[in-house]
Amino acid sequence: MNKKILIFGIILSALMVSSCVKDLDVVPQDPTKILAGNLGDDPLYMQQALGKIYASFIISGQGANGGDDIAASDGNFFTTMRALWNLQEITTDEAICAWGDVGIADLNTQTWSPSNPFLTALYQRLALSITYANDFIKNAEGNTSPDVTRYVAEARFLRALAYSWAIDLFGQFPFTTEADGVGKFFPQIGTRQEIFNYIETELKDIENDLGAPRYSYPQADQAAAWMLLARLYLNAEVYTGTQRWEDVVTYTGQVIGAGYTLASDYRQNFSADNDGNHNPEMIFAWEQDGINTQGYVGTTFIIESSSDARYIRAEDFHGLTSNTNWNGNRARIQFLDLVIDTLATYGNVAIPASDSTFSQSPDKRIFLKQKKALNIPSPAASGDYGIGVYKFTARNHDSSLPANYNTAYACTDFPVFRLADAYMMRAEALYRMGGTANIEAAVNDINLIRERAYGNQDGNITADDLDLDFLMAERAREFYYEAQRRTDLVRFGKFTGGDYLWQWKGGAYTGAATSEHLNIFPIPGDELSANPNYNGINNPGY
Q: Please give the single-letter amino acid code of residue 246.
A: E
> Using an 8 Å Cβ cutoff, are 47 and 5 in contact?
no
Partnered with residue 514 across adjacent β-strands are 497
Collapse the DSSP code of 104 into the 3-class scheme (helix H, G, I; strand E, B; otherwise coil) and give the result.
helix
Rounded Cα distance, 416 and 274, in Å: 12
> Using an 8 Å Cβ cutoff, are 523 and 94 in contact?
no
Helix, strand and coil percent figures for the chain, each rounded to 5 = 40, 5, 50
- 177 burial level (CB within 10 Å; 0-12, 13-18, 19+): middle
Rounded Cα distance, 253 and 147, in Å: 28
Which residues make Cβ contacts (< 8 Å) with residue 77, sequence separation at least 6?
101, 121
Predicted local confidence at residue 48, as pLDDT: 84
Which of the residues in the chain have pLDDT under 50?
A: 1-32, 65-66, 342-349
Report percent pLDDT > 90 for the chain. Answer: 75
Partnered with residue 285 across adjacent β-strands are 415
